[in-house]
Structure 1
Amino acid sequence: MPRFTANLSMLFTEVELIDRFAAAREHGFNAIEIQFPYELGAETIKRKLAEQGLQLVLFNVPADDLLQGGEGLACVPEKQDQFREALALAVDYAKELRPAAINVLPGRCLDPARYADYLSTFKQNLCLAADAFSPLGVKTVFEAINSLDMPGFIIDTGAKMLAVLDELKRRDIFLQYDIYHMLRMGENPAAFIAEHAKRIGHIQFADCPGRGQPGTGHADWAALFSAIDQSGYDGWTGAEYKPSGATSTTLGWLNHYDHR
């Protein structure tokens, strides 16, 4: 079965972020990811990882106002200087924490007439990120987010992700494949992962609809986890869901599918 990480931005939110490292370890995780770790200093995170014997797998470059309904950062032509500042901060954290991968969120375009400019800006910034992270041994990843939950997101399908990779032709940029978002778009994640495993740098998951833990929606998790296992994908698989109750009560899937 896949190697699972706990996304500390979504799981164990019953306690403060600094206490979620211990909660993840207590409940059987050996690795974690954090969407935006910047409320804690890099040295503090490094200490908490060491205390709990955890590996940090992933975090995101700051994305400005994306989660508040704005366009975000990486694709907005007028925000390129701000993106460089955000990238510099992520590099500082990467130097201290050495995650497996760092995600560059593409962002939204709220004016369809400017879509081409926004996509071009994102590709330029994605390459800047790869130039910065690759010397540190860190993969640069980017993801598609479904346009039902986040209208205007410039990359919302597997095909659009692949098109970016095909155009850039870089060996240090990979996909972050989020099973929930692609289920929302009506795609077949098992088939996509089986075909494109070597181009995927990180996988995340939640059930669909609702974005809850496995078993709360219609996804076939035995088939999905088996597909990941058989695909040759050698990265981590992140639990990034909205727990339906206390996180500890939603981890039955981990006990069932994690057979380390």
Structure 2
Amino acid sequence: MKIAANLSLLFTELPLRERIQAAAAAGFDGVEIQFPYELPAIALQEALARAGLPLVLINLPAGDLMSGGAGLAAVPARQAEFDAALQQALTYAAMARPACVNVLPGRLAAGVSREQALDCLAANLRQSAEAFALLGIRVLVEAINPIDMPGFLINTPQQLDELLRAVNHPNLAAQYDLYHMARQELDLVAGMRLLAGRIGHVQFADCPGRGAPGTGELAFLALLRALRESGYGAWLGAEYKPGEAGTQASLGWLQPFREYAGGV
């Protein structure tokens, strides 16, 4: 397993382009960026090439989701907006070449039943999986805890499992976030086992607090071992809040974590 820095939370004291070089200098194997669209794709491609790092993950544009709205992917009335977001991400990804693109389910919109939202989401995930398959890019869907993001449509491994089965597309996989599962006090290992063979990407932060490994209560060595035993061997995305001291001061976990990821 290799470790990617999530540049939406790490090295944020620097402009986005410079964060990529900082991640390389710190010893990360790759980078992920939630919403990279502020930077032209060609500029991102050039910055990645200079740093010698791959782009592991980006998110599809999500409308008003991050400002408290329902987002796009599960709102029937916003289908045209979702289609435009998909085209924007396809154009961007064709040049920036992320390994994966995450489609955020969003919140349950007012006036929309859960069944309607899930049907809309499944159709949009199927459409996205088909479109990105032509680029050789995998599509992901993520469960997020409803404490940090109230009203979020998909929260648990069981709901992810049901959604993956409903869409039933070989180019769709789960994004499994250890923090979001731990925030709900769920059994993280049971979730890995349920989704075994269908996890396309893993993200982590300690819990409580969403800080660096070692600042909370998660037993990362045991979790990494369980991931490997479930058959997972791909990327681990460091998506945590580094604290007031900054990212560089928070990286004491990186070398032992790398040894665990490579040797457990």
TM-score, length basis structure 2: 0.94
Q: Which residue of 1 aligns with 2:256?
A: 256
Q: Give, in whole Å, the separation in 1 of the partners of 2:255 and 2:230.
A: 22
Q: Which residue of 1 aligns with 2:240?
A: 241
Q: Give, in whole Å, the separation in 2 of the partners of 1:4 and 1:22.
A: 15
Deviation per residue, 1:110-153 (Å, 9 max, x gap) = 43862211111111111111111011111110000101111111
Contact 2:108 2:152 in 1 (8 A): yes
| Matched AA of 2:81 | Q
Q: Give, in whole Å, the separation in 2 of the partners of 1:44 and 1:100.
A: 18
Contact 1:58 1:100 in 2 (8 A): yes
Other structure's SS at 1:54 match: coil
Contact 2:123 2:167 in 1 (8 A): no
Contact 2:75 2:112 in 1 (8 A): no
Q: CA deviation at 1:249?
A: 0.8
Other structure's SS at 2:218 match: coil
Equivalences, count: 259
Other structure's SS at 1:234 match: coil
Q: Which residue of 1 aligns with 2:95?
A: 96
Other structure's SS at 1:198 match: coil
The question of 1:144 aligning with 2:143 is answered yes
Q: CA deviation at 1:217?
A: 1.1
Q: Which residue of 2 aligns with 1:221?
A: 220
Q: Give, in whole Å, the separation in 2 of the partners of 1:113 and 1:18.
A: 40
Q: Give, in whole Å, the separation in 1 of the partners of 2:224 and 2:254.
A: 11
Q: Give, in whole Å, the separation in 2 of the partners of 1:197 and 1:32.
A: 24
Contact 1:190 1:223 in 2 (8 A): no
| Matched AA of 1:35 | Q
Structure 2 portions without partners, runs of 5+: none
Q: Which residue of 2 aligns with 1:167?
A: 166
Q: Which residue of 1 aligns with 2:17?
A: 18
| Matched AA of 2:54 | Q
| Matched AA of 2:106 | G
Identity %: 47
Q: Spell out the pairing of 1:19-34 with structure 2 (5 A cutoff).
A: 19-34=18-33
Q: CA deviation at 1:194?
A: 4.0
RMSD: 1.3
Contact 2:212 2:242 in 1 (8 A): yes
Runs of 4+ in 1 over 6 A off after TM superposition: none
| Matched AA of 1:101 | C
| Matched AA of 2:94 | K
Q: CA deviation at 1:231?
A: 2.7
Contact 1:30 1:53 in 2 (8 A): no
TM-score, length basis structure 1: 0.96
The question of 1:80 aligning with 2:79 is answered yes
Q: Spell out the pairing of 1:5-154 with structure 2 (5 A cutoff).
A: 5-111=4-110, 114-154=113-153
Deviation per residue, 1:138-195 (Å, 9 max, x gap) = 1110000101111111101110000011122211110000110011122122332245
Structure 1 portions without partners, runs of 5+: none
Q: Give, in whole Å, the separation in 2 of the partners of 1:113 and 1:178.
A: 27
The question of 1:209 aligning with 2:208 is answered yes
Other structure's SS at 1:177 match: strand
